[in-house]
Structure 1
Amino acid sequence: MTRDSVIVIDEMLSMIDFIEISMSDKTQSDFQQDMMLRLAVERAIEIVSEASRHLPTDLLAREREIPWNSIRGMGNVLRHEYHRVASEVILDVITGDLPPLKAALLRLNKDGQTAD
C-alpha cells in the first residue's frame, strides 16, 4: 500500500525533532551512559529509516545529495547488527547525517510535494 508522502515526511521530521530535543545539551558520555536515551534515539532513527522506504523514487530524485540508500539501510543495521553499532556511529548520524536530511525534507515540504 502506498503511503501519502506528506505524512511520511512529517513522520520523519517529527522523529528528527525528537532526536534533536532529546540530545540537546547531552554529551557523548551522557549518551553512552543513558541506555534509555540511546534506545529512544536509535528507535527514532529506525523510524526515519523505515519511513524513507515509503517515499517514491521521483521525490527522492529531487534531493540527490541525500544518501537515500544509506538512510534506508540504517534501520536494518540497527535491527540486525545492533550488537556492533557503537555509540559513536549513532552520534555521527545525529550530527552529520540528520541536519542535511532535515533540510532536504523541509525543502520537499516547502516545494509542496504531491501526495501519493
Structure 2
Amino acid sequence: MAARALIPRLTDIVEAIERIRDVLANTPIDAFEADWQRQWLVERGIEIISEASRHLTDELKARHPEIPWQKVAGIGNVLRHDYESIAAPILWKLARDDLPALEQVCRQELKAAEEP
C-alpha cells in the first residue's frame, strides 16, 4: 500500500483525537463522569480511532512499536460489545494519557506521506 493511501485513515485518527481533546478541554474528571454526552462523544472518537488503526499497514506499525497497536484496535471491540464495562475514568485516562503519543505518530506519518 502506498503511503498516500494511508492519508485518509491517519487523518481520521488525528481528527478524532482533536475532537476528543476539544470535548475534554477544561473539563475536570468529576464533570466528565457526570456528563453522559461527553462520554458518548469520547467513546465515538475512540471507536473511529480503533477502526482507522486497523487499516494502517504492518510496516507503519512496525516503525512505531511504542504504540500498543493491538490495544488501539481492540478498544473498539470493547466499546461495541462490552460497553457496560467501560467506566468514565478509563476513557478519561485513555484520552489524556494515551492519545497524545498516537496523535504525534500519526502526524509524523501524515507529514511523510504528504511529501512528494
For 2:56, the equivalent position in structure 1 comes to 55
Counterparts in 2 of 1:8-19, with a 5 A limit?
8-19=9-20
- Tell me whether 67-76 or 103-112 shows the greater mean CA deviation: 103-112
Separation in structure 1 between the aligned mates of residue 59 and residue 34 of structure 2, nearest angstrom: 41
- Amino acid corresponding to residue 7 of structure 1 in structure 2: P
Separation in structure 2 between the aligned mates of residue 112 and residue 37 of structure 1, nearest angstrom: 32
For 2:65, the equivalent position in structure 1 comes to 64
Separation in structure 2 between the aligned mates of residue 33 and residue 104 of structure 1, nearest angstrom: 32
- Amino acid corresponding to residue 107 of structure 1 in structure 2: Q
SS in 2 for 1:65: coil
Identity %: 35
| TM-score w.r.t. length of structure 1 | 0.91
For 1:4, the equivalent position in structure 2 comes to 5
Report how far residue 78 of structure 1 moved.
Answer: 0.7
- Amino acid corresponding to residue 63 of structure 1 in structure 2: H
Separation in structure 2 between the aligned mates of residue 96 and residue 107 of structure 1, nearest angstrom: 19
Work out the number of aligned pairs and report it.
Answer: 112
For 1:90, the equivalent position in structure 2 comes to 91
> Deviation per CA, 1:58-77, whole angstroms, max 9, x where unpaired?
11111111100000000001
Separation in structure 2 between the aligned mates of residue 66 and residue 96 of structure 1, nearest angstrom: 12
For 2:41, the equivalent position in structure 1 comes to 40
- Amino acid corresponding to residue 78 of structure 1 in structure 2: L
Separation in structure 2 between the aligned mates of residue 82 and residue 33 of structure 1, nearest angstrom: 17
Separation in structure 1 between the aligned mates of residue 108 and residue 63 of structure 2, nearest angstrom: 9
Contact 2:50 2:75 in 1 (8 A): yes
Q: Which runs of 5+ in 1 are unaligned?
A: none
- Amino acid corresponding to residue 47 of structure 1 in structure 2: I
- Amino acid corresponding to residue 87 of structure 1 in structure 2: A
Separation in structure 1 between the aligned mates of residue 114 and residue 80 of structure 2, nearest angstrom: 30
Separation in structure 2 between the aligned mates of residue 6 and residue 112 of structure 1, nearest angstrom: 7
Report how far residue 113 of structure 1 moved.
Answer: 6.8
Q: Following superposition, which runs of at least 4 residues in structure 1 exceed 4 angstroms of deviation?
A: none
> Deviation per CA, 1:34-56, whole angstroms, max 9, x where unpaired?
11111011011010001100111
